[in-house]
């Protein structure tokens, strides 16, 4: 992926005027051109030369599924034939239109409640491939709901912090005035818990929000359902997130899927409330969404509410998120490129 400086250098070497580089860069990022022929304010000879010299490896829509609740899942085909999925989650009553983007083809973390975790990790996405998901889903939002995206969550396929360079570069383009110019405060990056990378986020003084996919508030249970915890235990993670908050003051949330008989009793809630005392945090309680070859069961609604109420009584800010798009396998933990 060429930087703007590299485009300027190439334009200079072929004897074109410098402003052409700005036009090319604008076509690639602000206008998201997927072919050189689209660059209509460039000469035909320049477009032909670019076509002979460079490739635009655009992602392409492969399949679109619409849920009864309005959620839209899109499967994209990449230049090498691999597939990824993104989800558009519209909440018109709140004027909120969120895209959930992927950062990897597959995933290496093998979280037991997640369909993507059962896939082999093939590769990290390029920054442009992440960016293109946002661009194309934004077009969907405008065409179908007459409203642009309001929020971006890096919660799709893969672990964003294991695709650190691409993830950061995509955020840079999404927030740049020369890109989509979205506020970083409307972006949330989710992680299963990579402590070193969280500290790196602090060092980079990022402006976006951070979500930790927690799902258990003690190491024994978390080790069982999320093997990454064995090398990134809760003590190490809390120290890293505490440092992240100290440096950035950015919003932090804990994602917590309730699994019947695993992590959903009041003792679990007490441990979770204790973890919430380290720094300001919001807890998002999530329904479990069934996946193939997993024996978990969704916690009953009344027990879910009791869990949430306990946390609220302890002064924790809690949101109970009802699943969206589960009839098309678009809900949390269900993305797996199914037919």
Q: What is residue 334's predicted lDDT score, i.e. its pLDDT? A: 53
pLDDT tens digit sequence for 39-80: 999 999 999 999 999 999 999 999 999 999 899 999 999 999
Residue 313 has pLDDT above 60, yes or no: yes
Residue 311 has pLDDT above 80, yes or no: yes
Check if 100 is active-site: no
CA distance 19 to 5: 12
pLDDT tens digit sequence for 104-131: 999 989 888 887 777 888 999 999 999 9
Q: What is residue 337's predicted lDDT score, i.e. its pLDDT? A: 56
CA distance 183 to 199: 22
Contact predicate 91/145, CB 8 Å: no
Q: Which of 310, 305, 313 is nearest to 266 (CA)?
A: 310
Least confident of 111-120, 182-191, 312-321, 328-337: 328-337
Q: What is residue 116's predicted lDDT score, i.e. its pLDDT? A: 79
Q: What is residue 167's predicted lDDT score, i.e. its pLDDT? A: 98
Catalytic residue among 38, 255, 332, 339: 332
Instruction: Tell me what percent of the residues of the chain surpass a pLDDT of 90.
Output: 83
- For 187, the 3-state DSSP assignment is strand
Q: What is residue 295's predicted lDDT score, i.e. its pLDDT? A: 81
Contact predicate 145/88, CB 8 Å: no
Q: What is residue 291's predicted lDDT score, i.e. its pLDDT? A: 74
Q: What is residue 336's predicted lDDT score, i.e. its pLDDT? A: 59
259 DSSP assignment = B
CA distance 339 to 335: 11
CA distance 178 to 65: 32
Catalytic residue among 26, 38, 85, 292: 85
**What domains lie within the chain, and their CATH numbers?**
4-53 (1.10.150.530), 60-328 (3.20.20.70)
Full-model pTM? 0.93
Instruction: Tell me what percent of the residues of the chain surpass a pLDDT of 70.
Output: 95
23-37: average pLDDT? 93
pLDDT tens digit sequence for 246-305: 999 999 999 999 999 999 999 999 999 999 998 999 999 998 887 777 788 899 999 999
Check if 203 is active-site: no
Query: Using alpha carbons only, how large is the chain's radius of gyration in Å?
Result: 21
Residue 338 has pLDDT above 60, yes or no: no
Residue 103 has pLDDT above 60, yes or no: yes
pLDDT tens digit sequence for 137-173: 999 999 999 999 999 999 999 999 999 999 999 999 9
Calculate the average pLDDT of the chain. Answer: 92
Q: What burial class does residue 108 get, using C-beta atoms within 10 Å of its C-beta: 0-12 exposed, 13-18 middle, 19+ buried?
A: middle
């Amino acid at each position: 992926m060429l930087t703007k400086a590299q485009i300027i250098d190439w334009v200079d070497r072929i004897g074109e005027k410098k402003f052409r580089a700005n036009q090319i860069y604008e076509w690639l990022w602000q206008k998201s051109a997927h072919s050189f022929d689209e660059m209509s304010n460039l000469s035909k000879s320049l477009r032909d030369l670019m076509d002979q010299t460079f490739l635009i490896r655009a992602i392409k829509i492969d399949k679109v599924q619409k849920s009864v609740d309005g959620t839209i899942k899109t499967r994209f085909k990449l230049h090498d034939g691999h597939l990824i999925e993104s989800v558009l989650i519209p909440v018109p009553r709140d004027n909120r239109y969120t895209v959930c983007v992927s950062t990897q083809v597959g995933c290496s973390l093998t979280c037991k409640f997640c369909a993507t975790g059962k896939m082999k990790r093939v590769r990290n996405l390029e920054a442009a491939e992440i960016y293109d998901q946002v661009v194309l889903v934004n077009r969907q939002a405008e065409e179908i709901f007459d409203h642009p995206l309001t929020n971006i969550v890096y919660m799709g396929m893969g672990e964003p912090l294991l695709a650190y360079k691409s993830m950061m570069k995509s955020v840079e383009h999404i927030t740049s005035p020369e890109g989509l110019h979205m506020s970083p405060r409307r972006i949330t990056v989710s992680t299963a818990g990579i402590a070193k990378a969280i500290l790196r986020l602090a060092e980079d003084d990022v402006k976006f929000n951070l979500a930790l996919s927690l799902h258990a508030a003690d190491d024994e249970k978390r080790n069982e359902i999320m093997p990454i915890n064995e090398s990134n235990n809760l003590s190490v993670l809390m120290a890293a997130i505490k440092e992240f908050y100290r440096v950035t003051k950015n919003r932090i949330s804990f994602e917590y899927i309730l699994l019947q008989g695993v992590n959903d009793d009041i003792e679990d809630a007490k441990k979770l409330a204790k973890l919430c005392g380290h720094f300001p945090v919001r807890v998002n309680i999530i329904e479990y969404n069934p996946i193939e070859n997993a024996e978990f069961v969704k916690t009953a609604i009344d027990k879910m509410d009791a869990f949430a109420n306990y946390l609220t009584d302890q002064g924790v800010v809690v949101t109970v998120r009802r699943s969206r798009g589960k009839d098309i396998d678009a809900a949390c933990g269900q993305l797996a490129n199914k037919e």
